[in-house]
């Protein structure tokens, strides 16, 4: 976005030049955005699920980063067949947290969206996440409990654990999250440093939410509907991973606060917000 100053109006803040029309990506017949969007898909042995997952991803996204967790099936070949321009990153370690961290580091977009490769998250919802970001949010988290959201896959144990951990984080940090342990999130890439992700497992979702709160990021929730895995078995173990999440929350509470994010300059007119 050009920083050039174009006009002053009665001592009001100057307006910056509107990005050239070719910088805008059409989203709907009435909406276009100038930020670029990367989607990170961590996958291990998900060849059967990728055709469904990729079919839900909007054509207007700029980049798909598939993080392959040393798959034994044709995950990479299927991804390249479905989207020849897909960026394949080979995971350096193990676990979902490590895979996402590798994927985030490889992204070139202004906005990063993280979804699952098992078919449980719907790529058609990405427009809601991006819309919330370009209208002022720093970090957008999907919620199965927000009005319009839901889940076909929450067992009693997972639901109880999520509710309990969500309430704990809300009490500790003064947040009003409705769904702590859900892996459908999006954020501005410029906030990667303040999130400073350093965990390997499923607890990465909680860590992101906690550090976003500690850093003072503007967090917005959007409704999301979680579906059941299409093929294969999940690597999530409710009790084991729930304990890891709890340990992460306690560790973060005991650690030094994350560096605060500086307040942005006064908002510019709508044309300068990256949406049109």
CATH number at residue 207: 3.90.550.10
Q: Specify if 187 maps to a domain.
A: yes
Q: Specify if 250 maps to a domain.
A: yes
Residues of the chain with confidence (pLDDT) below 50: 1-9, 13, 15, 258-259, 262, 265-273
Q: Which residue, chain included where needed, has tokens 């509470």?
A: 253
Q: Specify if 7 maps to a domain.
A: no
Q: CA-to-CA distance for 1 and 15, rounded, in angstroms?
A: 12
Q: CA-to-CA distance for 180 and 207, rounded, in angstroms?
A: 9
**What's the confidence (pLDDT) of residue 189?**
97
Q: Which helix (H) or strand (E) covers residue 147, if one does?
A: none
What is the value of pTM for the model shown?
Answer: 0.81
Q: Which residue, chain included where needed, has tokens 């720093």?
A: 138
**What's the confidence (pLDDT) of residue 18?**
57
Q: Specify if 9 maps to a domain.
A: no
Q: Which helix (H) or strand (E) covers residue 88, if one does?
A: strand 87-90
Q: Specify if 183 maps to a domain.
A: yes
Assess contact for 107 and 189: CB atoms under 8 A.
yes
Provide the H-helix boundaries in 6-152: 50-56, 75-82, 96-106, 126-134
Closest CA to 64 of 123, 16, 21: 123
Q: Specify if 201 maps to a domain.
A: yes
**What's the confidence (pLDDT) of residue 158?**
81
Q: How many domains does the chain have?
A: 1
Segments forming the whole domain that contains residue 182: 35-256
Q: Specify if 158 maps to a domain.
A: yes
- What burial letters (b/e) apply to 85-107, b meaning 16+ CB within 10 Å? ebbebebeeebbbbbbbbbbebb
Q: Specify if 14 maps to a domain.
A: no
**261's tokens:** 């994010």
- Cα atoms found within 13 Å of the Cα of residue 249, Cβ hemisphere only: 22
Assess contact for 61 and 37: CB atoms under 8 A.
yes
Assess contact for 28 and 61: CB atoms under 8 A.
no
């Amino acid at each position: 976005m050009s920083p050039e100053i174009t006009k002053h109006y009665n001592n009001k803040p100057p307006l910056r030049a509107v990005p050239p029309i070719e910088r805008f990506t059409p989203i709907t017949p009435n909406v276009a955005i100038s930020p670029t969007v990367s989607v990170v898909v961590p996958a291990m042995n998900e060849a059967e699920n990728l055709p469904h997952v990729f079919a839900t991803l909007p054509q207007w996204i700029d980049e798909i980063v598939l993080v392959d967790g040393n798959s034994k099936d044709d995950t990479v070949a299927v991804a390249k067949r479905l989207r020849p321009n897909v960026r394949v990153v080979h995971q350096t370690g193990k676990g979902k947290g490590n895979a996402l961290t590798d994927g985030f580091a490889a992204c070139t977009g202004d906005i990063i969206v993280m979804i699952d490769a098992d078919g449980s998250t719907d790529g058609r919802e990405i427009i809601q996440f991006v819309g919330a970001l370009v209208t002022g949010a720093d970090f957008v988290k999907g919620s199965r409990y927000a009005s319009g959201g839901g889940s076909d896959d929450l067992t009693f144990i997972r639901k109880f654990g999520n509710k309990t951990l969500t309430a704990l984080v809300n009490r500790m940090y003064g947040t009003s999250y409705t769904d702590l342990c859900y892996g459908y999130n999006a954020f501005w890439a410029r906030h990667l440093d303040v999130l400073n992700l350093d965990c390997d497992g499923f607890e990465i979702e909680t860590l992101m939410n906690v550090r976003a709160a500690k850093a003072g990021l503007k967090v917005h929730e959007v409704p999301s509907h979680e579906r059941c895995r299409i093929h294969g078995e999940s690597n999530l173990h409710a009790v084991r991973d729930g304990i890891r999440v709890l340990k992460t929350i306690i560790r973060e509470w005991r650690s030094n606060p994350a560096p605060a994010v500086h307040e942005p300059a006064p908002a510019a007119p709508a044309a300068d917000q990256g949406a049109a």
